[in-house]
Chain A
């Protein structure tokens, strides 16, 4: 029973205003708050850096679960265009293939950027599949859970919005790929836009196309991103749209969820202690030279709100 008394003493010292802690719960003392901040940094960075190292053991438990698919991305992109009176984009199998190759390249070389570490530019993938473009553009995104949030993020960013609403673009290709990026299961979305040099007939999604190979000499014209296309181009004999049929378990936890859970618990605990401290001191009519509990509650309440509101997702 002695241990119970000791525990009671420690808990009271930490959470109850009494003489031993100068009538301020120990956990609200600056030293304790600094210690909690340090612990938060260590644990937070641990979730971000170290937990992915165990991803092989945890398997598909760790990662970002996503309900995004190619059709919904294209549909919502065209919705945005139609709202502003722009023509919808038609799906290009070549651009889709180029987007797929870009996503695969990012997973293979483990990078997240428009330009690869070896200097490979997005247009390389278009040229690789034989897409002879007059205008071209690319949007990237990762770790989004739903298409609505993804489009909202792109539309919120001037450069990405410019791509989506560019009147010069007539075709689009989208790849939604799952893989492991920096140790975390990630959903990458690559959106490629273009206007071909030569107008091709509109192709329905999911169909096979058979195009006779031919060489064309194309002149450089006005390009997006100051890219010129003076290379001879060869159209692929066949372009297909496909997604891997490997069934994948949806990840359960992401580093973000772990961080949010951890900080929410800390935040709620501190808020409860602040309220308890306020009530106790009011009842005991004690004067203390300490920070304002109500102000601390307002700040922590704001942080809690932002933690709950915060959505996953990064655009590039």
Chain B
């Protein structure tokens, strides 16, 4: 894991920044349900794009990897969306 972090430091910094911004945005727009739902779609969307992009960059991409990121992003999105009902 340490090697993974070292080799992909910039990518992880970018990910953490995006997740923090997304989390702050979700908290900040409360209790505006429409904006919360928008963040609930954008944050996992960002994560999916990040995942696919980093794997493409390292040339370690496959259909299963794309599906995995899509599935995790979908689960995150569903969780955040259902909280707003």
A binds B: yes
Number of A interface residues, CB 8 Å? 46
Contact B72 A299 (CB under 8 A): yes
B68 touching A290, Cβ below 8 Å: yes
In the bound complex, residues from chain A placing their C-beta under 8 Å from that of B43 are: 302
Is A34 a contact of B80 with CB atoms below 8 Å?
A: no
The minimal Cβ–Cβ distance linking A306 to chain B, given in whole angstroms, is: 6
Contact of B70 among A30, A41, A295, A298 (CB under 8 A): A30
Q: Do A302 and B4 have beta carbons less than 8 Å apart?
A: no
Q: Tell which of B50, B64, B74, B79 touches A34, judged by Cβ atoms closer than 8 Å.
A: B74
Interface assignment of B23: CB less than 8 Å from any CB of chain A: yes
Q: Are A44's CB and B82's CB within 8 A?
A: yes
Q: Mark B26-57, 1 if CB is under 8 A from A, else 0.
A: 11001111000000000110010011001100
CA distance A294 to B70 in the complex (A): 16
A37 and B19 within 8 A (CB):
no
Please report the C-alpha to C-alpha distance between residue A294 and residue B27 in the assembled complex, in whole angstroms: 24
Rounded to whole Å, the gap between the CB of A249 and the closest CB of chain B is 25
Known: A290-B65, A299-B47. A263 touches B82 (CB 8 A): yes
Report yes or no: A30 in contact with B68, Cβ–Cβ below 8 A. yes
| A294: B residues at CB distance < 8 A | 1, 4-5, 12
Is the pair B1, A303 in contact by a Cβ cutoff of 8 Å? no
Q: Which residue of A lies closest to B48 (CB)?
A: A299
Return chain B residues, CB-CB under 8 Å to A290. 64-65, 68
The residue in chain A whose Cβ has the minimal distance to the Cβ of B28 is: A156
Choice from B12, B22, B31, B47 contacting A314 with Cβ under 8 Å: B31
Specify which of B4, B16, B30, B80 lies most central, judged by the most chain A CB atoms within 10 Å of its CB. Answer: B30
Known: A153-B30, A259-B83, A314-B31. A289 touches B78 (CB 8 A): no
Contact B33–A33 (Cβ < 8 Å): no
Docked-complex contact B80 and A37, CB < 8 angstroms: no
Nearest to B32 among chain A residues (CB) is: A157
Q: What are 20 A-to-B residue pairs whose CB atoms are below 8 Å? A: A33-B71, A37-B74, A37-B78, A44-B82, A48-B82, A48-B85, A157-B31, A278-B1, A282-B1, A289-B64, A291-B65, A294-B12, A295-B51, A296-B72, A298-B15, A298-B16, A306-B23, A307-B79, A311-B31, A315-B31
Name the 6 nearest CB pairs between A and B, nearest first: A33-B71, A30-B67, A44-B82, A291-B68, A37-B75, A302-B19
B residues in contact (CB < 8 Å) with A: 1, 4-5, 8, 12, 15-16, 19-20, 22-23, 26-27, 30-33, 43-44, 47, 50-51, 54-55, 60, 62, 64-65, 67-76, 78-80, 82-83, 85
